[in-house]
Amino acid sequence: MVHANVEVRNFAGIHVRPSGLIIQAAGGYPGKISVEGKGMVTDLTNVMGLIAMGLYQGDHVRISVDGPGEDEMLSTLTDLFGKNFDFPPRGE
């Protein structure tokens, strides 16, 4: 099992679109993935659990991955949680 702590950097937080991309990246992973933050824990099997966490810019999460290729999956997820997405563009 591997873990990483990540700061949410997207200015609009982890809303529907980033959540969808995160769930898609985790989809089909044969091991276990969990995300902990703001006093909640969810696995990455459905988008509603992630959205319900209400993650905003500056919040911190702990991602845990247990299974085959866990280092690669952890790297992918830390990149996504720490990414500044360009939708919707700032100022619109």
Model confidence over 44-56: pLDDT tens digits? Answer: 988 999 999 999 9
The reply to whether 86 falls in a domain is no
What residues make up the domain containing 36? 2-81
The reply to whether 88 falls in a domain is no
At residue 91, does pLDDT exceed 70? no
The number of angstroms, rounded, from the C-alpha of 26 to the middle of its chain's C-alpha atoms is 9
The reply to whether 91 falls in a domain is no
Give which of 87, 78, 92 is closest to 8, Cα–Cα: 78
Q: What is the CATH number of the domain that holds 11?
A: 3.30.1340.10
Q: What amino acid positions are annotated as catalytic residues? A: 15
At residue 80, does pLDDT exceed 90? yes
Residue 85 confidence (pLDDT): 83
The reply to whether 25 falls in a domain is yes
pTM: 0.90
Give Cβ neighbours of residue 67 (< 8 Å, ≥ 6 apart): 29, 30, 31, 32, 73
Domain count, the chain: 1
Tell me the one-letter amino acid at 5. Answer: N
Separation between Cα atoms, residue 61 and residue 80, nearest integer Å:
12
